[in-house]
Amino acid sequence: MADSITITDNRTGESLEVPILDGGIDAKAWSKLLPGIWFHDPSFGATSGAASSITELDGEAGFLRYRGYPIEQLAESSSYLEVAYLLIHGELPTPEQFEAWRYEITHHTFIHENVRKRFMEGFHHDAHPMGMLVSTIAALSTFYPEARDLTPDVVMKQVVRLIAKMPTLAAGAYRHSVGMPFVYPDNSLDFAANFLSMMWKTAEPRYDANPVLARALDVLFILHADHEQNCSTTAMRTVGSSHADPYVATAAATAALYGPRHGGANEAVIRMLTQIGSIDAVPAYVERVKQGDVRLQGFGHRVYKNYDPRARIIKKTADEVFEVTGKNPLLDIALKLEEVALSDSYFTDRKLYPNVDFYSGLIYQAMGFPMDMFTVLFAIPRTAGWLSHYMELLDQDSRIYRPRQLYVGHPVRDYTPIERR
Ligand code: SDX
């Protein structure tokens, strides 16, 4: 039996055999047989938009691999900066390559003073940090006009700048929102510890993050670094396909991540758990979900029809964090919610399991991050994933994204002057 399908146009009796390659069917083949007929897939639930070698995940088996390496091994043994190198360059770095990469990232953490003083301080005191982040990332595009030059070495310079500056912009947004002075990067600290210093430093000469918390945050950064063609990565590739510069493309991806159906879910989970309020109230809430009144935030996934492998690792990391911070009281409600949901056919029939967002917010809250910073914590590491897809798109010399549509509107009709309407 050949690895192929045969499509027949019953209007003409004409048939075409199309090979199944890499788990897909090339659309150009059927376009020949069916000119002007489009396969309709509005949210791309069954459509491949790219051939990518960056991340592989399997929804049924429940595995996630970056460049072939299982996420469990990377979370156990790697660091976010090393994973960022792997995503961007395609291979794990040698010691020399890693040292050069670490040096580059560490020495590009500063942002132009105008971005801080003139731009970030211009936001309202209660501006949502995600709104500030989207805007300031786009603003960086105006500080590096060379970024419109998409030759590989110029793009790589912007990639290093963006990965390095995201924590600085993120922490700056937080400090602005609480009326605290901006904290400059400390180049003697590693990636996660430097971010925690920019977040929490007050009068002390140097902020030394708790190593357990810094490592936990670094693991969370690894887990959030990429996830193939998710909504925000698709936004990155769509904007990148017009050859917009890496900054505005990253701003577009960050904007997509902001939505509660995507990166905003970790904030929505905490609001949901707080609203439930107690273990006793869990069964009633689950009933409301089953009635369709509310969604179970942090549950469900377009691809994972099994437990999100990241959620399993996050649950383990949570225990390590709570050893230091004390247990988040909402954890018991979350565990009860998971227990009740996973024993109820409404959820198991729909293959709704905890996703990456279900437990991450509990850790962030225990570490002292305010809820409106949770999605920002997702955007920081995902920047490496977004940029690896941007570079892959350029390497593949992909055409501009321009899907077709099914027109279901009015047929042609004549304009009528307003006095006759
Ligand atoms: C992320 O794509 C990625 O890779 C994303 C991400 C990444 O790393 O980039 O993994 C990160 O975004 C994780 C998802 C975070 N979002 C949430 O936790 C929000 C809550 N989840 C849902 O809104 C929903 O599950 C989505 C958005 C995640 C998935 O949406 P789909 O694939 O469009 O799911 P669906 O609407 O087709 O659901 C199928 C059924 C429906 O019921 P029926 O109409 O068949 O009766 O399941 C139901 C849905 O109503 N359903 C839920 C539910 N999610 C789906 N019911 C209750 N609670 C939920 N959370």
* Domain locations in the chain as residue ranges: 1-35, 52-398
Closest alpha carbon to 364 in 305, 309, 394, 322: 322
Q: pLDDT at position 29, please?
A: 84
Q: pLDDT at position 31, please?
A: 87
Residues of the chain below pLDDT 70: none
Catalytic residue among 176, 224, 227, 301: 301
Q: Cα(402) to centroid of ligand 1, in Å?
A: 26
140-259-369-316 Cα dihedral, nearest 10 degrees: -120
Q: pLDDT at position 117, please?
A: 85
Give the span between the Cα atoms of 25 and 318, in whole angstroms.
Answer: 42
Report in angstroms the alpha-carbon separations of 242 from 239, 252, 389, 400.
6, 13, 14, 5
- Pick the residue whose CA is nearest to atom 26 on ligand 1: 301
Q: pLDDT at position 307, please?
A: 86
Q: What are phi and psi of 330, to 5 degrees?
A: -75, -10
Active site residue 301: yes
Please work out whether the CB of residue 264 comes within 6 Å of at least one atom of ligand 1. Answer: no
Give the span between the Cα atoms of 40 and 190, in whole angstroms.
Answer: 47
Please work out whether the CB of residue 230 comes within 6 Å of at least one atom of ligand 1. Answer: yes
Active site residue 357: yes
Q: Could you give the angle at the alpha carbon of 311 between the alpha carbons of 307 and 351, nearest 5°?
A: 25
Q: Cα(45) to centroid of ligand 1, in Å?
A: 12
**Per residue in 346-381, is it b (16+ CB within 10 Å) or e — as a string?**
ebeeeebbbbbbbbbbbbbbbbebebbbbbbbbbbb
Pocket test for ligand 1, best of 55, 57, 262 (most atoms within 8 A of CB): 262
Q: pLDDT at position 28, please?
A: 87
Q: pLDDT at position 41, please?
A: 95
Pocket test for ligand 1, best of 301, 308, 359 (most atoms within 8 A of CB): 301
Give the atom of ligand 1 at the shortest distance from the alpha carbon of 233.
9
**For residues 140 and 161, is the Cβ–Cβ distance under 8 A?**
yes
Give the span between the Cα atoms of 355 and 62, in whole angstroms.
Answer: 11
- Pick the residue whose CA is nearest to atom 51 on ligand 1: 300
Q: pLDDT at position 314, please?
A: 93
Give the span between the Cα atoms of 374 and 264, in whole angstroms.
Answer: 8
Please work out whether the CB of residue 261 comes within 6 Å of at least one atom of ligand 1. Answer: yes
Residue type for position 94: T
Closest alpha carbon to 354 in 362, 74, 378, 288: 362
Per-residue tokens: 419: 């006095």
Q: pLDDT at position 221, please?
A: 98
Q: pLDDT at position 30, please?
A: 82
Q: What is the pLDDT of residues 353-393, one digit of tens each?
A: 999 899 999 999 999 999 999 999 999 999 999 999 999 99
Give the atom of ligand 1 at the shortest distance from the alpha carbon of 231.
2
Which residues face 20 on adjacent strands?
25
Please work out whether the CB of residue 257 comes within 6 Å of at least one atom of ligand 1. Answer: no
**Per residue in 291-327, is it b (16+ CB within 10 Å) or e — as a string?**
eeeebbbbbbbebbbebbbbbebbbebbeebbeebee
> CATH: 1.10.580.10, 3.40.30.10, 3.30.70.1020, 3.30.200.20. Which one for 52-398?
1.10.580.10
Q: How far apart are the first and last CA of the chain?
A: 63
